[in-house]
Amino acid sequence: MKNTPHINQLAEIAETILLPGDPKRAKMIGEKFLEKTECFNEVRGTLGFTGLYKGKKISVMGTGMGIPSMGIYSYELINIFGVKNLIRIGTTGAMQKNINVRDIILAAGASTNSAYSSQFKLNGSFAPIADFTLLETAANVCRNKNLPFHVGNVLTSDNFYTEDENQTSSWSTMGIIGVEMETAGLYTNAARYGAKALSILTVSDHMILKDAEITTAEEREKSFTDMIETALETAVKL
């Protein structure tokens, strides 16, 4: 029996998993996009499902918000359940003027203001990056679907609210293309424990252009669908 307090110890989880932050989005994906779907986890309200997409076994599970939560679930998925490919799907705030709301961002790397990697006692700064095969595959899926997408470095922040009003512009000048709260933790764990990881993100708002377009709920649902389908099409090609 697998030993973990956070995921059902009897869970049957595929080698490839999609990781939205919101457990309800995991439920929606399991019910709408997968066939022969079974719920494998309800512990702590973190819903997880395994099913088939175009005949391939794929799982999806919520991770909650922030590096600590992502760190727990990605560690257990890799080390206890043998997951090989972890694809985060979530939202991001755009950090460059040429990026529009509803665009997709593929996180090639993840800068961070978190001290998460300090536990590994490295004599320097670790640069968490995506797996190139996953990144290249997802980019080709976006091209084939004619989806607007951007590849680059994102900021994984520990802060949703910040007292530093200059933080956004400082990171933007370094070429950061989006800000979110989980990717650096996912990439660091994947590197340390021998898995492959990628974050596919939908731009939900803009951090630079204060008068940027505001999307409706229906438009955001369509954007999320593009992101989800990109992740699933990437998964079936592995």
Please write down the HEC assignment for all residues of the chain: CCCCCCCCCCCCCCCEEEEECCHHHHHHHHHHCCEEEEEEECHHHCCEEEEEECCEEEEEECCCCCHHHHHHHHHHHHHCCCCCEEEEEEEEEECCCCCCCCCEEEEEEEEECCCHHHHHCCCCCCCCECCHHHHHHHHHHHHHCCCCEEEEEEEECCCCCCCCCCHHHHHHCCCCCEEECCHHHHHHHHHHHCCEEEEEEEEEEECCCCCCCCCCHHHHHHHHHHHHHHHHHHHHCC
Percent of the chain with pLDDT over 70: 94
At residue 223, the pLDDT reads 63
Report, as an integer, the average pLDDT of 48-72. 97
At residue 194, the pLDDT reads 98
Residue 128: band (very low, low, confident or very high) from pLDDT cuts 50, 70, 90: very high
At residue 220, the pLDDT reads 60
Q: Which of these is catalytic: 22, 103, 164, 205? A: 205
Quick check: is 22 catalytic?
Answer: no
At residue 1, the pLDDT reads 55
Question: pTM here?
Answer: 0.94
In tens, the pLDDT along 210-236 reads 777 766 666 665 568 999 999 999 999
Residues 178 and 201 sit within 8 Å (Cβ to Cβ): yes
Mean model confidence pLDDT for the chain: 92
Q: Which region among 9-13, 29-33, 95-99, 115-119 has the lowest average model confidence (pLDDT)?
A: 9-13
In tens, the pLDDT along 170-193 reads 899 999 999 999 999 999 999 999
